[in-house]
Amino acid sequence: MCGRVYLKTNLEGLLRAFSFAKREGVEGLANQLPRFNGAPSQYYPIIIRDVIRDDGVMGPVFISARWGLIPSWVKERKPGQPAPINAKAETIATNGMFRGAYKSRRCLVPIDGFFEWKDIHGTGKNKQPYAIAMKSGEPFVLAGLWETWRDPATDEDTRTFCVVTCEPNAMMATIHDRMPVILRRQDYDRWLSPETEAHDLMMPFPAELMMMWKIGTKVGSPKNNEVDILDPVE
């Protein structure tokens, strides 16, 4: 799965790194980045295919969205009801929760890295956290799905998203049985395109281009949001 990420790049740096996308409603996130311990239910800058306001054509646009997908067809949400943060690549085209978004509302989720926990003794009680990133140190993109949900009580729209996961590559398999789908830059356009099927893009990213390292247990609480969370430990 993928349940925690980090963005050590500030908003302006992220917009420059992915300058092919127009900036729209993300200015409110400027004071929330960098974020060294990003968790579900928080808002993130994501890239969708939408109408570009300047010329009215479709293109990649940065927007703000909350992590935890709420399909548009949901009529009412109960207090505390969880929203899926991940969608499995193997069932994404058939699962009613994700099927519609997969066909027409795919998104890019730019990050600098993510976290995963290794179950050391197989009991679930003793886990070692790891940070995972690109060897190049550059920000990269996770494959995601997005939705707009209208709250019937307030008539307000909320944009939400989830991260697509797949089988692990050789590196990730040493700590977990899943990993997020990481997209190559040449595949961004196709993932955002109106093409209804993109299953061949949801594959494990090459392990030789990635790195991971052990970190301390501070990452376990989203309240901890300091840069030293990324410090390696023995």
Helix or strand holding residue 13 (H, E)? helix 11-17
Task: Reply yes or no on whether 116 is catalytic.
Answer: yes
The residue behind tokens 């969205």 is: 65
Residue 22 gets the label, from left (phi > 0), alpha (psi -120 to 50) or beta, of beta
Which of 2, 107, 162, 166 is an active site residue? 2
Among residues 90, 107, 116, 147, the one annotated as catalytic is: 116
Q: With CA atoms as reference, report the closest residue to 110 among 136, 87, 133, 135.
A: 133
Structure tokens at 104: 């027409």
Counted residue by residue, the chain has a size of 234
Interatomic CA distance for residues 149 and 69, integer angstroms: 9
Q: Which residues have a catalytic role annotated?
A: 2, 116
